[in-house]
A and B are shown apart, each in its own frame.
Chain A
């Protein structure tokens, strides 16, 4: 575990040395402040459009940070020729993969925390309430969704040739799941065999990231989701994270380090 934490620590330090997060965070703040300054029929209590824009930016920013940070981890180590000395130390390939995953996931969690604090403050200025538990549910769900994304990108970084191609493919897959993942079975019904069977199989195989998108519930002030469903969703995410990490370990085991 010590080795895993050591690798994770380096990844987290890398995140706060890079400018990605700061740029995205400042852009989010600026866009939200500009949108908040718009006068809509002299009513200063209108909040939901602002919450929607802010949450959309939080989602986009966190996905960009998760995918781009993860996609370059192992390829960068290989390119800089630091992978071989790293593995020469008493650290296994599996520990390296787990360490990289943990570092990226915790880094995503830290960025999410900053984003949600800003979001909470912004919405409190309009709605004069702070539904902490609702934000906690939304934040934790999004963090676990990012866990799946990080694990998937890590596996992709070992399969695809370059970080850029891995990032692009990951963004397409994530976007596809978020937009049509919920309706893939309905799409399949209008198709002919064997395509129908393929799409139906995809529906059951892909991780349903849309479960973790609680934006509508937060924007429109819906009550809390029952905790047992949150717990089940987190278990579902953990299963996919484990699957992707296992896949990454298996691929990395046979991968040449040079």
Chain B
């Protein structure tokens, strides 16, 4: 029973059995929804907690945008509810209120007063020169990009990481090609994201001056937004207003005034400032009537 030949045969039998079980289970494991084997390294190591880290790195990017002058969990964060680097792109509704300059409040005691000399104590934005205050140094906004990229890698389902990154890449660093590639990566991960489509349209229109592609992308963004549930539409009115007013502007620039008026009417339905849009509609209507004999 214990002869070497029997042991070798047993080992071979076990190996064949293991191989068979592995060959049988592997396809099932790969098609199983809970499998992490096909995911990236972050997915495998962190699981769903990666979203929490992604948000934390997104906030870290905003802290860099302020050159380190940023409230901690103990400070008053009312003026930092929405990340300023995102709000400054113009595509995110700003929920901030309160004084962003003095979230630290008055000094509490001599230790607090003395300690304030040893960390950043002034509200600045990197795109306006940052701590040095040198307005020509607006390219310093590049410093927020590593954290935004890491945030997007950790949570590819968050469109804001892509749109904010692309905005600053295009607007301040003039790296339109990199911004476009990043937005396409975001679109692959979030095919229904009207935010990414809006930013892509801005890139085509303002970066490449390609009105036709911008129109196509923005019209697709409108269709994606209209496909939302009514409750979701209520929460995301700002982006719809942004898309439709851009489309209206594009059509007006292209000479399609009636189409521009239609888009302004669509924007008016969700806008918080319908009077300003009505004024624009009136101007365009006058243009049409002036052209008619």
Binding site for B on A (CB under 8 A): 38, 40-43, 45-49, 141, 182-183, 185-187, 203-204, 208, 210-214, 216-217, 219-223, 225-226, 229, 232-233
Contacting pair B146 A40 (CB below 8 A)? yes
Q: Closest Cβ of chain A: how far from B242's Cβ, in Å?
A: 25
Contacting pair A203 B149 (CB below 8 A)? no
B115 at the interface (CB under 8 A from A): yes
**Contacting residues of chain B (163-184) with chain A, CB-CB under 8 angstroms:** 169, 173, 175, 178, 182
Contacting pair B120 A226 (CB below 8 A)? no
CA distance A70 to B67 in the complex (A): 36
For B66, the closest partner residue in chain A by CB is A220
CA distance A177 to B163 in the complex (A): 38
Q: Closest Cβ of chain B: how far from A184's Cβ, in Å?
A: 9
Cβ-Cβ contact count across A and B, 8 Å cutoff: 87
> Known contacts being A43-B173, A43-B175, A222-B67, is A217 close to B145, with CB within 8 Å?
no
Q: What bracket does the count of chain B residues touching chain A fall in?
A: 20 to 34
B258 at the interface (CB under 8 A from A): no
Could you write out 19 A-B pairs with CB less than 8 Å apart? A41-B169, A41-B175, A43-B145, A46-B142, A47-B143, A48-B143, A182-B115, A185-B109, A186-B74, A204-B111, A216-B68, A216-B120, A219-B68, A220-B64, A221-B67, A221-B131, A221-B132, A226-B117, A233-B114
CA distance A186 to B115 in the complex (A): 15
For A189, the closest partner residue in chain B by CB is B108
Question: Which residues of chain A are within 8 angstroms of B109 by Cβ–Cβ distance?
Answer: 185
Contacting pair A210 B115 (CB below 8 A)? yes
Question: Which residues of chain B are within 8 angstroms of A223 by Cβ–Cβ distance?
Answer: 131-132
Contacting pair B131 A222 (CB below 8 A)? yes
Contacting pair B118 A49 (CB below 8 A)? no
CA distance A43 to B146 in the complex (A): 10
Q: Closest Cβ of chain A: how far from B6's Cβ, in Å?
A: 51
> Known contacts being A216-B68, A220-B67, is A45 close to B111, with CB within 8 Å?
no
Q: Closest Cβ of chain B: how far from A16's Cβ, in Å?
A: 32
Question: Which residues of chain B are within 8 angstroms of A213 by Cβ–Cβ distance?
Answer: 118-119
CA distance A216 to B117 in the complex (A): 12
CA distance A192 to B106 in the complex (A): 24
Contacting pair A220 B114 (CB below 8 A)? no
Contacting pair B115 A208 (CB below 8 A)? yes
B72 at the interface (CB under 8 A from A): yes
For A35, the closest partner residue in chain B by CB is B146
B206 at the interface (CB under 8 A from A): no
Q: Closest Cβ of chain B: how far from A189's Cβ, in Å?
A: 10
Contacting pair A42 B146 (CB below 8 A)? no
CA distance A41 to B146 in the complex (A): 9
CA distance A40 to B142 in the complex (A): 10
For A206, the closest partner residue in chain B by CB is B111
Contacting pair A217 B118 (CB below 8 A)? yes
Given A43-B175, A210-B115, 8 further pairs, Cβ under 8 A:
A38-B146, A41-B182, A182-B112, A182-B115, A208-B111, A214-B118, A216-B68, A222-B120
Contacting pair A40 B145 (CB below 8 A)? yes
Q: Closest Cβ of chain A: how far from B161's Cβ, in Å?
A: 13
Contacting pair A220 B68 (CB below 8 A)? yes
Within 8 Å by CB of A40, from B115, B117, B130, B149, lies B149
Contacting pair B142 A185 (CB below 8 A)? no
B147 at the interface (CB under 8 A from A): yes
Task: Kindly supply a per-residue 1/0 record for chain B positions 34-68, scoring 1 wherever the CB is within 8 Å of any chain A CB and 0 otherwise.
Answer: 00000000000000000000000000000010011
For A38, the closest partner residue in chain B by CB is B146
Contacting pair B118 A42 (CB below 8 A)? no
Contacting pair A217 B120 (CB below 8 A)? yes
CA distance A210 to B112 in the complex (A): 11
Question: Which residues of chain B are within 8 angstroms of A225 by Cβ–Cβ distance?
Answer: 117-118
CA distance A233 to B142 in the complex (A): 34
CA distance A40 to B61 in the complex (A): 14
Contacting pair B118 A232 (CB below 8 A)? no
